[in-house]
Amino acid sequence: MKLSAFGQKFSADAGISSLMDDLGNAMASGDDMIMMGGGNPGNVPPVQALFQRELQRLANDEAAVKRLVGTYDPPQGEKQFIGALVELLNREYSWGLKPGNIGLTNGSQAAFFMLFNMFAGPRPAGDAGQPRHILLPLAPEYIGYSDAGLYEGTFRSVRPEIDFHGEHRFKYRVDFDQLQVTEETGAICVSRPTNPTGNVVTDGEMARLEALARQWDIPLIVDAAYGAPFPGLLYVDATAHWNENIIFCLSLSKLGLPAARTGIVIAAEPVIKALASVNAIMNLATGSFGAMLAEDMVRSGEILRLSRDVIGPFYRAKMERAVATFSAAMGEGYPWFVHEPEGAMFLWLWFPDLPITSEVLYQRLKMRGVLVVSGHYFFPGLPVDHWRHRQECLRVTYSQDDDQVAQGLHIIAEEVRRAYDGE
């Protein structure tokens, strides 16, 4: 097989594909693996029931079925859903959106692929200068970004500052002294809440990032796949903010519809136009399934109530149980930290000076039937250095069954203590 550079780069062993493979194989093997590795949403019964009812209603409506499966949507996405979103977001936040400010994609992952390559890489003819990059102001950051650039060097990121809170908690902060926007920066991008750490970049940090982006006339991409206004996996106060300089990305996945593959991009009209063109080339159209399934919830505002009153509290309770279980299981006498779990569905565990790498720890846990993700994957764009921290962290998902999560956390604590004891 004589692959192009593109073919080689995208078929090489990318972090995201090996992770998805590992998870998929473990799921399919039927073994009693405790799945604490992926980003799959949990089963929230009232939400599941609502989708089931809605699906039945659509199935019984001939015109709806035609829209659902028998029509190509325009490349910008399903018009009625976009209309309902515009109304909802304007009502909720007074953002002054028009339908031209929203585009839909087949999952937000696809949106990031398109956006990153729209703003990073070699410049067009007539624009002299070095290729542009996407600046990730804080690593650790989402593994799914790391291989999404067509060009080498698509991402640059910066080590965070670390604030310690009590004996076993910490929080990453953007290190603005190290953060360098240059002529070569095409956009700044941050996930909020962050996958993998559960960090929520503060309103103050967001304001500074936005000011930097504005100063350099580049967009600030905000990935709110877990955040506000939906699905609302947010356990601290954080303001959702949009203006024409911000590209705000949402997803229906963590609401409970990961298989419907629906990403939502809110941006200035020229950005949405450009995105829709790229989308037409890549996909012809975006699937309407997620849009149609969620349209009524958006029109009625039910999606906000569900996020605030059902989905957010569901994950917050899981997070609290997971933290309590892990704290009790680790006890005192060993160095361990949990990142402040401010959002999303992950605990980010840090074991300073662990005698084995997080990859070895991951392998040992897999042998014991617990699937987590080694933290070393989550530093896209950070130059290779000797920062040991990169090898000292694990991402643990707490979205699944509580008993299984508790069992998994006990095994993790046991293996970590063994490693510290030199076993």
Dihedral sign of CA atoms 34, 36, 39, 43 in order: positive
Residues 20-79 that bind ligand PLP (CB under 6 A): 39
Interface residue with ligand PLP among 225, 322, 406, 409 (CB under 6 A) is 225
Q: Give yes or no for residue 230 binding ligand PLP (CB under 6 A).
A: no
Beta strands (DSSP E) in 149-294 are 155-157, 161-165, 169-173, 185-191, 220-223, 246-251, 262-266
Integer Rg of the chain from CA = 21
| In the complex, minimum distance from the CB of residue 210 to ligand PLP, in angstroms, rounded to a whole number | 19
Question: CA 37, CA 29: separation in Å to the nearest integer?
Answer: 15
Q: Which is nearer to ligand PLP, 240 or 406 (CB)?
A: 240
Question: CA 217, CA 212: separation in Å to the nearest integer?
Answer: 8
Q: Is there a contact between 127 and 137 (Cβ–Cβ < 8 Å)?
A: no
Q: Is there a contact between 285 and 147 (Cβ–Cβ < 8 Å)?
A: no
Q: Which is nearer to ligand PLP, 40 or 357 (CB)?
A: 40
Question: Rounded to the nearest 5°, which phi and psi values hold at 256?
Answer: 125, 10
Question: Cα angle vertex 418, ends 376, 389, to 5°?
Answer: 25
Which segment (106-114, 181-189, 235-243, 375-383) binds ligand PLP by CB under 6 A? 106-114
> 263 is written with which tokens?
């990403």
Q: Which is nearer to ligand PLP, 336 or 375 (CB)?
A: 375
Which segment (14-22, 105-113, 299-307, 311-319) binds ligand PLP by CB under 6 A? 105-113
Q: Which is nearer to ligand PLP, 42 or 144 (CB)?
A: 144
Q: Give yes or no for residue 400 binding ligand PLP (CB under 6 A).
A: no
Write down the number of H helices and E strands in the chain: 14, 15
Interface residue with ligand PLP among 73, 78, 147, 223 (CB under 6 A) is 223
Interface residue with ligand PLP among 37, 42, 103, 107 (CB under 6 A) is 107
Q: Is there a contact between 266 and 100 (Cβ–Cβ < 8 Å)?
A: no
Q: Are strands 102-106 and 133-136 parallel, antiparallel or unpaired?
A: unpaired
Interface residue with ligand PLP among 109, 197, 199, 400 (CB under 6 A) is 109
Residue whose structure tokens are 């007074």 = 94
Q: Give yes or no for residue 374 binding ligand PLP (CB under 6 A).
A: no
- In eight-state DSSP terms, residue 221 is E
Interface residue with ligand PLP among 146, 157, 199, 253 (CB under 6 A) is 253
Q: Which is nearer to ligand PLP, 221 or 409 (CB)?
A: 221
Q: Give yes or no for residue 155 binding ligand PLP (CB under 6 A).
A: no
Interface residue with ligand PLP among 101, 157, 199, 251 (CB under 6 A) is 251
Q: Which is nearer to ligand PLP, 42 or 107 (CB)?
A: 107
Cis status of the peptide bond prior to 229, with omega within 30 of 0:
yes
Residue 28: CB atoms within 10 Å: 8
- Residues for the chain: how many in total? 423
| In the complex, minimum distance from the CB of residue 330 to ligand PLP, in angstroms, rounded to a whole number | 26
Q: Is there a contact between 247 and 221 (Cβ–Cβ < 8 Å)?
A: yes
| In the complex, minimum distance from the CB of residue 364 to ligand PLP, in angstroms, rounded to a whole number | 25
Residues 176-205 that bind ligand PLP (CB under 6 A): 191, 195
Question: Cα angle vertex 351, ends 350, 353, to 5°?
Answer: 135
Q: Give yes or no for residue 144 binding ligand PLP (CB under 6 A).
A: yes
Q: Give yes or no for residue 108 binding ligand PLP (CB under 6 A).
A: yes
Q: Per-residue contact track with ligand PLP, 284 to 323, x per CB under 6 A?
A: ----------------------------------------
- List residues binding ligand PLP (CB under 6 A): 39, 107-109, 142, 144, 191, 195, 223, 225, 251, 253, 258, 263
